[in-house]
Amino acid sequence: MTEENRMTHRGWAIVTGASGGMGAEFTKALAKRGYPVLAVARGVEPLARLANELKKDGASIETLAADLAGAEGLSTVVERAQALGDVDLLVNNAGLSTSGDFLEQSVDKEIQSIRVNVEALYTLTRKIVPGMVEKKRGGILNIASIVAFQAIPYWTTYAATKAFVLAFGEGLAYELRNSGVRVVTVCPGFTKTGLYADSGVPGMAGRLLPFATPEEVVRVALAAYDAGRVVRVVGLTNRLLAISGALTPRFILRGLMARMFAPTTAGRASSRPPKQRPEIS
């Protein structure tokens, strides 16, 4: 890492869900760009391994073990962010997913997913953005999903949380358009991370649609941030799905998505990518 890079990015980058998958890749990529990084996740050991790896290359990285599904964990992250002072970039990457028949889901797990995917993202953004606006510099990078563009039966709650992320990011990007603060919402498709390994992708969708790598998603996300994009869908297949979904009447789209995502009758199973470390807060 050169001194020039360090001087270019003096403020901190905060990455949630940093223990594995896209979060770990965001942490690595931002450290390489010269950001000092605060890596946030639940797992102490994965964070320590990541920090040790990056410090060998001279990166400036701090770790914070916190559960964003709880009020105490969220407050801990807010307090640390405020203590850092100069935050240039917030990557709201942490996420939780459940899948399958709505009435068969654990209420506690679904509420946890809402707290992480919606409440934590909103709260961190609300607490950190004012400082960015004051200095007229900074950015928010939100990770939504291709499922944000339409209702997804059998992935009902998860898709609804990601629809919030997309609408919230677009609205905020417009409000802050002249402030010097960028807000970019990235919509990947299925990705080989612990999030999908834990919950699975229900129905035919998990077997037929491609899975991207975390490295690919992070590369596209940071390029979109550099270009000042507002929304970026990752992958040609996913862009075509988003466009076709916008042109299809919603009652037809609901039926199509139900067919694609309905759990299989044999064991009501879900398709899962290769198991990796959970990408959760």
Which amino acids are annotated catalytic? Answer: 158
DSSP code string of 246-281: HHS-HHHHHHHHHHHHSPPTTTT-EE----------
The rounded distance, in Å, linking the Cα atoms of 42 and 120 is 14
* DSSP secondary structure letter of residue 116: I
Which of 184, 196, 191, 189 lies closest to 142, judged by CA? 184
Q: Which residues pair with 40 in a beta bridge?
A: 16, 64
Which of 110, 155, 25 lies closest to 13, judged by CA? 25
The rounded distance, in Å, linking the Cα atoms of 196 and 198 is 5
Tokens read off for 82:
């405020």
The rounded distance, in Å, linking the Cα atoms of 244 and 234 is 15
Which of 157, 245, 262 lies closest to 201, judged by CA? 262
Tokens read off for 137:
């510099």
Which of 142, 98, 100, 138 lies closest to 118, judged by CA? 142
